[in-house]
Structure 1
């Protein structure tokens, strides 16, 4: 009888040992599988993020180097690129070229890659803008990029070009003091028909940008010649503001720089 009990206990102990061992290895294998699965998922996620980053940077390759670097920094920080668009009534918050450009960026990069804020200042000259310290408005948006159309058309015949350029520099300096990482990209307003001095002022704006190291996007090559009446299809001769066709043309010209094919 004792032998039988001993054998029974021994058998039970062996079974318990086998069951415990089986459960141990089963848990260990499951943990190994889970760890391997997590590693694969992490690797796949990293590959996807790397791929998405590469696609975004490839799209932006026609922008100035400083703008590309700002976009890269935002993407690597896993946040939207904050783009501030600022300018005169030629750069309307609603119904103009900024809305068309936003749509083009959403279509090309994906919705949410760019977070765009538009600041329109109706009737301001650069002197007004400098005095009113409007760059503080942009700094609140924590911009990566500021696309600035600097009131040059409103200055025409009112503020000398030397003063205009000094005010532009003051406005940019104010922004940079509050948002040092912001990259300011200058662009001219729209052309107007049969102007004499205004085209020369635009040329001086471009030279000023180059001299001071500001990125500059010149979209004038996309418009009809400013001495041609065809321009009146794109810019209303009564208001000197872009028509619907002009807004589309302006947005398309900028999109070709923002979006490499």
Structure 2
């Protein structure tokens, strides 16, 4: 009788061990499946969100010249950021409230950090076209081998001390140096800020625009977003002394560029 009971106990223990092993094996497999499913869902969600972001980004370029839009779209598709340089006189300096800082932040906020690698390079103080030409300070832009450049060509800083022809020659020198560094670079030109009741400055700027466009480059005319030269309201858009745009001027300048680069 004792032998029978001992045998029965052994069988019962073996049964419990086997049953427990089967239970835990099944549980682990079930938990693993849930973890895998959760990880898979997360990966799918990330892919969907990334794809949605790329699709949104592709819609923002509608207002830009086709060749610029295509370059941005290619960067989005290839996930390779464009090196974008904003270059010009001290009027392009990046500081709190400046149009360049607002514009840069809008691009990064809208497109994300993976589409543009933005560099802002401003010449110091009152340096004009001849200063840049004499010491070749523009080469710091070319050294970056940028893909895209927004260039403000010092016409306001020239202040009548540089002939229209010389200013245009220097502007072309700057553009040529960039294109030599990167043959696929696209250079767009913009004016500096307008000044109330001036005569020669807008004439020189119009001549620069014609020169730029005749050489096959793009001109982004943010003056369209400011009051007319003859309008006294324009005085509110520039600080006293005409040294820099006011908050209204920075808003007019940045909002024009934001609308060009971020069509909604």
Q: Is the pair's TM-score, using the shorter chain for normalization, greater than 0.5?
A: yes
Kindly state the Cα deviation for residue 108 of structure 1 after the two structures are TM-superposed. Answer: 2.2
TM-score, normalization by structure 1: 0.78
What secondary structure, in the 3-state scheme, does the structure 2 residue paired with 1:253 have?
Answer: helix
Provide Cα deviations, 1:86-126, integer angstroms capped at 9, x if missing partner. Answer: 11111112231110001221232224432211101022211
Computed over aligned residues only, the root mean square deviation of the Cα atoms, in angstroms, reads 2.4
The answer for the alignment partner of 2:159 in structure 1 is 156
Equivalent-residue separation in structure 2 for 1:97 and 1:159 (angstroms): 26
- Conservation of the 8 A alpha-carbon contact between 2:142 and 2:177: no
Equivalents in 1 of 2:132, 2:58: separation in Å? Answer: 33
Is 1:118 matched with 2:120? Answer: yes
Equivalent position of 2:94 in the other structure: 93
SS of 1:117's partner is strand
> For residue 106 of structure 1, what is the aligned residue in structure 2?
108
Counterpart-to-counterpart distance in 2, 1:41 and 1:132: 55
Tell me how far apart the structure 2 counterparts of residues 159 and 153 of structure 1 sit (CA, whole Å): 10
User: After superposition, where does 1:76-87 map in structure 2 within 5 Å?
Assistant: 76-87=77-88
Tell me the distance in 1 between the aligned counterparts of 2:243 and 2:195. 6
Q: Is this contact kept in 2: 1:193–1:237, CA < 8 A? A: no
Matching of residues 30-45 of structure 1 within 5 Å: none
Find the counterpart in structure 2 of residue 250 from structure 1.
253
Contact 1:192–1:237 (Cα < 8 Å) also in 2:
no
Note if 1:176 corresponds to 2:205: no
Q: Which residue of 2 aligns with 1:75?
A: 76
**1:59 is matched with which residue?**
60
Q: How many residues align?
A: 225
Cα shift readout 1:129-164 (whole Å, capped 9, x = no counterpart): 223223321233332211001101011311111111
**Aligned partners of 1:139, 1:106: CA distance in 2, in Å?**
23
Residue 178 of structure 1: CA displacement? 1.1
Is 1:208 matched with 2:211?
Answer: yes
Q: Which runs of 4+ in 1 moved over 3 A?
A: 40-54
Contact 1:185 1:217 in 2 (8 A): yes
Look up the match of 1:193.
Answer: 196
Q: 1:126 to 1:51 in 2, by over 3 A?
A: same
Question: In structure 2, how many angstroms separate the alpha carbons of the residues matched to 1:53 and 1:133?
Answer: 39
Is 1:224 the counterpart of 2:214? The answer is: no
Query: Helix, strand or coil: the match of 2:218?
Result: coil
Partners in 1 of 2:263 and 2:248 — Cα distance? 23
Unaligned runs of 5+ in 1: 1-33
Q: Say if 1:192 and 1:240, in contact at 8 Å, map to a contact too.
A: no
